[in-house]
Structure 1
Amino acid sequence: MHITKRFDRLLGIYFYLQSKPLVKAQELADKYEVSLRTIYRDIKSLEHAGIPIMGEAGYGYSLLNSYKIQPIRFNEQEALSFGVAEKLMNHYLDKEMAMHFGNALLKMKGVLRYSDKENVADLESKVLINKKKNFLNENVPAALATLFESMVKKRQIHLKYKSVENNLQERAIEVVGVFQEGPFWYFMAYCHLREAIRQFRLDRIEHIRLLDSKYTQELLPLNTYLEQNKKVETLQTIRIWVSKDFARFLQWERLHYGFQHEEEINNGVEMTFHTTHIEYFARWYMMFADEAQILEPETLKQSVVNLIQAALKKLD
C-alpha cells in the first residue's frame, strides 16, 4: 500500500511539473501533504528514473521543455469528475470562459474509454446547478476572459464601471488578480484614475476592452493586497439568536457572511460571525428577522432599524 501511494505521488509530481513552468518544493509538499524532505527524495527518484528535471531546492523545479510522455488514461473517479465539472464552470464562469472550458473538456472526454463516456453522460443528466441572479455579468459575457487575457499579456483594460453610488465612470486599470467572495466575482487592479490599487466587482462592469498599452506598475501577488485589506478593515463580532427550526435554513448562506461557530441555547441556535460590513450583514439578517434576535452589536440593531424605516417610507 505504501509503495502504491508513493508511486501515485511520484506520477502526480511529474504531471504537476509538466503543467507549470516552475514549481517550488513547498508547493508540492502542501499539495501532497508530505514533508519537504520527502519531496526532495521524490525529485531525486524521478531524476534517477531518467526524467530531466532542472532546478534545485530553494529555487524551484521545472521539466526540460522538449521532454514529454504520452498522457495516461483517466481512472474511473477522474472520469466521473467531468460529469459535474462543466456544469460547475458554467455556473462560476461567464459565457466566453465557460465556452473555452467546455471546448477543452470535450478534448479531454475524447480520450475516455467508452464505458467511462457512458457513465459521464449518465451523471451529467442527473446534476442540475441553478445559477443565481447577478452572480455574473450577463451583459458583458467576455468580462472574465478579458481580465484573464489582460493578466497574461500584461496589457491594460479600459472599463466603464458603475460605482456603489450608481455613477458610471471610465477607468484604465492594470489587473492584479481575480477572486470570488460570497455571491460575487471581484478583481483587484491598479486604477490610473485613483493612482492606487482598488477592488472592483464583476457585475458592475458596463463595458470592458483590452488596450494596447502595457502595464506600467510592478504589481505584487493578489494575496498580498487581500491581506493588506484585511489589516486595514476592522473585523466586528456579531452574535445573533435564531430559532432552532429556522436555523437549518441558514447553513449555506451564513458562510458568506463571516460565520464562525454556533451553540444551541434557549431552544434556539446562537451564531457568531466576524464581518467588516455591518450594513451588508443587516440586509441579509432582514430575510429572517422574524425568527431571530440580535445579541450584539448595537450598530447592527441600528442598521436594521434604518432599513426598516427606509422601507416603511416607500410604502406610504
Structure 2
Amino acid sequence: MNKTDRLLAIVLELQRNKVLRAEDLAAIFETSVRTIYRDIQALSEAGVSVVGAPGQGYSLMEGYFLPPVSFTVEEAVALLIGTDFIEHWFDVHYGSKSRTSRGKIEAILPEPIRTEASRIRKSFRLLTTAKDIARIQEKAYLEAIRRAILEERKIRFRYSKRVAEADGNRQSVRTVAPYGLVLHQGSWVLVTQCELRQNIRHFRLSRMSELVELEDRFILPADFLLDAYQPPDDRNVRVRIWVQPDIADKVRESNNFYIHTIEDHTEGLLVTLRVRQPEELLHWVLGWGSGVVVLEPETFRDRVRHELKKTLERY
C-alpha cells in the first residue's frame, strides 16, 4: 500500500472506530509506529482534523466527515452486485432500500466507470427458480422476524419437521426468542431460544407457517454473539452410499448438507454422510433411483427396501 492510499485508509479507520492508538494503526497497515506518527502529521498538515489524546489514541474531531470517495470499476461492480443480491435474498423493506442505494451509487459514478461497471455487471445474472418463487412467504416472515430481533420480542409459529418426532408428529407450535438469522446454503435459518425445548434451536423459515409477533419481551444473553456461535454437532449416525458414474457429477453438485466426505473411484463415488437419523436422507436417496446404493447402516438399507416395495405394490 502506498502512502496516499494509507492516508485515506487511516481516515476511514478513524471514522469507523472513533479512537485508535498508533500501535493499532501500525498493526492494521503492517507498518511501524514511527511511520504512523508521520502519517498523522501529514494528515494534520493537509487539513484533516485528527485529535491525539495521550494514553488513548487518535480520533477525528467531532463533526468531521470524509467526503464521498471515488470507486474503481471493480469496487463499483462489487457494490452494484451486492444490491442485486440483497434485493434477491432479503425482505421487501431491504429490497426497496437496495434499489434506491443502487440508484445513488450509479448517480455518483463518473461516466466512464459507470459504463464499464454496467458492461461487467451484465455478465453476471441471479436466476429466479421455482424454489425462489416459493420463497415469497419466507421473505414476508424475514421482515417480521428481523423486526422482532431488533425489538427483542418473542414470536410464535407452527413448524413442520422433515422427519416425525418419536410421537409420530411432524408439526409443533413453537414460542421462541429470536436471536439471529443465518443464510445457510441458500436457506434462511433462525437461531432461537425455544421455550418448548428450553435450549437453543434452529428453524428454517421455509418450514414455518402462521407466524405471529408477540408482545412478550426477551433479553439477549450478554455472552451470545451470533458471529462466534457454533451450533453443537449432533449428527452422530454415519450413512455410506455408492454412486454410479453416470450420476456422480449430479450427486456431487447437489451439495447435500449432510455430505461429510466424497471419495472418487473409477467405478463411481463413495459418499459418507452424517445425520441425526437416517430417515432424513430417505427421499434424497430414493430420488436417485438405481443410481445410488445404500451400503450402511443395514437398518437404513432395510428402510429403503421397504419403501421401494411399497412403491412397487402401487404400480
| Same fold at TM > 0.5 | yes
* In structure 1, distance between residues paired with 2:70 and 2:37: 25
Q: Is 1:107 matched with 2:108?
A: no
Among 135, 157, 182, the alignment partner of 1:179 is 182
* In structure 1, distance between residues paired with 2:197 and 2:54: 41
Q: Shift of residue 9 of structure 1?
A: 6.6
Aligned to 2:249: 248
Aligned to 1:84: 81
* In structure 2, distance between residues paired with 1:83 and 1:131: 18
Among 92, 97, 120, the alignment partner of 2:94 is 97
Distance 1:297 1:283, change over 3 A: same
Equivalent residue pairs, number: 298
- SS in structure 2 at match of 1:240: strand
Aligned to 1:298: 298
Contact 1:89 1:98 in 2 (8 A): yes
**What are the superposed Cα offsets for residues 171-225 of structure 1, whole Å, 9 maximum, x if unpaired?**
3x32211112334211111234554332221123334454554324525123565
* In structure 1, distance between residues paired with 2:187 and 2:93: 17
Contact 2:242 2:270 in 1 (8 A): yes
Deviates further, 282-291 or 297-306: 297-306
Distance 1:116 1:215, change over 3 A: same
Q: Shift of residue 281 of structure 1?
A: 2.9
Contact 2:138 2:205 in 1 (8 A): no
Contact 1:235 1:275 in 2 (8 A): yes
Aligned to 1:196: 199
Q: Shift of residue 311 of structure 1?
A: 4.2
Distance 1:133 1:68, change over 3 A: same
Could you tell me the TM-score, scaled by structure 2's length?
0.72
* In structure 1, distance between residues paired with 2:305 and 2:58: 58
Contact 2:14 2:60 in 1 (8 A): yes
Aligned to 1:151: 149
Contact 2:243 2:293 in 1 (8 A): yes
Q: Shift of residue 303 of structure 1?
A: 4.2
Q: Partner letter of residue 194 of structure 2?
A: C
Aligned to 1:38: 30
- SS in structure 1 at match of 2:85: helix
Aligned to 1:235: 236
Gapped regions of structure 2 (runs ≥ 5): 45-49, 162-168
Q: Partner letter of residue 77 of structure 1?
A: E
- SS in structure 1 at match of 2:125: coil
TM alignment of 1:100-139, pairs within 5 A: 100-134=97-131, 137-139=135-137
Distance 1:298 1:123, change over 3 A: farther
* In structure 1, distance between residues paired with 2:263 and 2:276: 19
Contact 1:177 1:189 in 2 (8 A): yes
Aligned to 2:165: none
Q: Is 1:169 matched with 2:166?
A: no
Q: Alpha carbon RMSD of aligned pairs, Å?
A: 4.2
Contact 1:243 1:268 in 2 (8 A): yes
Gapped regions of structure 1 (runs ≥ 5): none
Could you tell me the TM-score, scaled by structure 1's length?
0.72
Is the radius of gyration larger for structure 1 or structure 2? 2
